[in-house]
Amino acid sequence: MVEVGDMLVGYATDENIRSRGASGGLVTAVLAAALEKGLVENVVVMKHINEFEAVPIITDDVEEVLASTGSLHSVPVNLAKYAMGRKVAMPAKPCDAQAVIEQGKRGMIDLDNTYVVGLNCGGSMHPVTTKKMLIEMYDIDPEDVVGEDIEKGKLIFKTKNGEEKAIAIDELEEAGFGRRESCRFCTLKIPVNADLACGNWGVIGDLAGSATFCQVMNEKGAKLLGNAIDAGRIEVQPASDKAIAIRAKVNSVMEDLGNTLEKEIFPDIPDEERMQYYMEQMEDCIDCGACKEVCPVCACGDDAKCTMFHSLVDNYKMSMYHMVRLLHLSDSCIGCGQCSDVCPSDIPITLLQSRFAIPSQRRRDYKPGMNLDTPPFFEVMLK
């Protein structure tokens, strides 16, 4: 019997899934069981194309779910929008789970029908940067890479010939590689906002590398895990006190690092210079609209205020599009980095949105995408 609050260590019962999965294949097995037993109609998974490329698919095929095993630190996609309008289960980084909840608050995702299997996340990397990093820092041909992992602050790559090479993430980031900028100041590393919070932190002893630590966050999480156990897809056992303590310690180190980097990434700008700063940052915008399209918390669709009051014929120094978005997203921006990723002018939009949003969110003790208890603060203010 699985209960809310349980902290367990488990793995897939199928040896093949267990050996191919990142940490014993528990997440894959839970998702597959949800589909087989009719808990959901679809599962969102990342279909592997190669080590640096995967594409989100929505599938009702258990085999496709099982084929999606393995970690993908260099495929920085937010999956929330793929869950819309479906009875679905999905793996989720903490920011995926945040976006699902934000969309749920706005009525775009039915949270009762969306099962979110959270995955610990120390940060993700851009695939093209990662390939360059492999050549320049690791002296590895990207084509030879067969796997990757993050452990004890190091990024590890495994090659076809069975070798492993690890370099400290700090060292990589100092050299201009490593995690995406938005991941560096993120402090939500364990997805406590998901239905299950899974990861390899706290998996110790004989099970290290072949099992997943799993915290049951709510009733849906208990149902998901119980379903996988009943289906015979996974085996679990209680996590030891030592395992729980180690997991908490790793999380604490990662949070501290995020807080430290936040101060570096967001140096103070005097009040009188802020407008100028934002205008200069936005001045190379080509009006493609990709930042809105990719935003996992935007629920506006085509009739959005940001586009409604914007026209290319306008001659504003900073477009109404950006002004409206800065304001509109200040109670929902989760800093996931998708907008910066897709900006064709390399405008650091996530940093700009976060710089604008974080002070308002902190002033109201509001972190978007954590739960349904607190409505968006704009809604509260309007009421």
Partner 1 sequence: MKEMIYQTVCPGCNIGCGLYVRENEEGTLAVDFMKSSSANLGKLCRFGMKLPYHYSKATSMVDGKEADIETAVKAASDKLKGAKNMAMLAVGATTNEEHLAFTKIADALGIVVNTGIGAYEEIPSECHSSISQGIPLDDIEKASRIALFIDPYVQYPLLVRRLLAAKKNGATIVSLACQDLNLADENVSVNPADYKTELGLDDNSMIITDVHPHTDPEQVKNLLNLALMTGAKIMFMKPFVDSTGVHLFGKTAGQMGLQEIMDGINDGSIKTLVTLNSDLLELMPNTDEAAKTLEKLDNLIVMTSRDSPVNEMANIVIATEPLYAKAGSFMNVEGQVLNNSGESTVGIDAMSTLSQNLGGEASDFQTIHNKMMESVLQKYTAPKYSELECKVMETAAPSEDGGNLVSVYNPFMWCDQTDDNDFVIVNMTMVDKLGLRKGGMISLTSDAGSVNMRYTVRDIPDGLILTMKKLPVITGNTTEVKAEAV
- From the list 5-13, 221-229, 313-321, 357-365, the region that binds partner 1 by CB under 8 A is 313-321
62 binds partner 1 (CB under 8 A): no
Out of 219, 345, 371, 379, name the contact with partner 1 by CB under 8 A.
345
Q: Which two tokens stand for residue 43?
A: 């599962």
Task: Closer to partner 1 by CB, 290 or 323: give it.
Answer: 290
Give me the least distance between CB of 363 and partner 1, in Å please. Answer: 33
Task: Fill in the amino acid letter for 342.
Answer: V
> Total residues contacting partner 1 (rule CB under 8 A)?
38
Rounded CA-CA distance 161/163 in Å is: 6
Out of 7, 58, 167, 246, name the contact with partner 1 by CB under 8 A.
58
288 binds partner 1 (CB under 8 A): yes
371 binds partner 1 (CB under 8 A): no
Report the DSSP pairing between strands 88-92 and 114-119: parallel
Contact 187, 208 (CB under 8 A): no
Q: Which two tokens stand for residue 367?
A: 């972190």
Q: Where are the alpha helices (DSSP H) in the chain?
A: 15-20, 26-36, 62-66, 94-105, 127-133, 169-174, 181-184, 219-230, 241-265, 274-282, 290-294, 305-308, 320-328, 338-342, 349-363, 377-382
Evaluated on CA atoms 364, 367, 370, 376, the torsion sign reads positive
Helix, strand, or coil here: 186? Answer: coil
Rounded CA-CA distance 87/110 in Å is: 8
Task: Closer to partner 1 by CB, 79 or 198: give it.
Answer: 79
Out of 77, 90, 243, 329, name the contact with partner 1 by CB under 8 A.
77
Give me the least distance between CB of 313 and partner 1, in Å please. Answer: 4
User: Which residue shows structure tokens 């430290």?
Assistant: 260
235 binds partner 1 (CB under 8 A): no
Give me the least distance between CB of 92 and partner 1, in Å please. Answer: 18
- From the list 26-34, 104-112, 226-234, 289-297, the region that binds partner 1 by CB under 8 A is 289-297
Give me the least distance between CB of 338 and partner 1, in Å please. Answer: 9
153 CB-near residues (< 8 Å, 6+ apart): 168, 169, 170, 253
Task: Closer to partner 1 by CB, 127 or 202: give it.
Answer: 127
313 binds partner 1 (CB under 8 A): yes
193 binds partner 1 (CB under 8 A): no
- Nearest one of 331, 332, 326, 324 to 296, comparing CA atoms: 332
174 binds partner 1 (CB under 8 A): no
Give me the least distance between CB of 133 and partner 1, in Å please. Answer: 14
Out of 67, 156, 318, 342, name the contact with partner 1 by CB under 8 A.
342
Chain positions contacting partner 1, by CB under 8 A: 42, 47, 49-50, 52-53, 55-58, 60, 75-77, 126-128, 131, 283-284, 286-290, 293-294, 311-315, 341-346
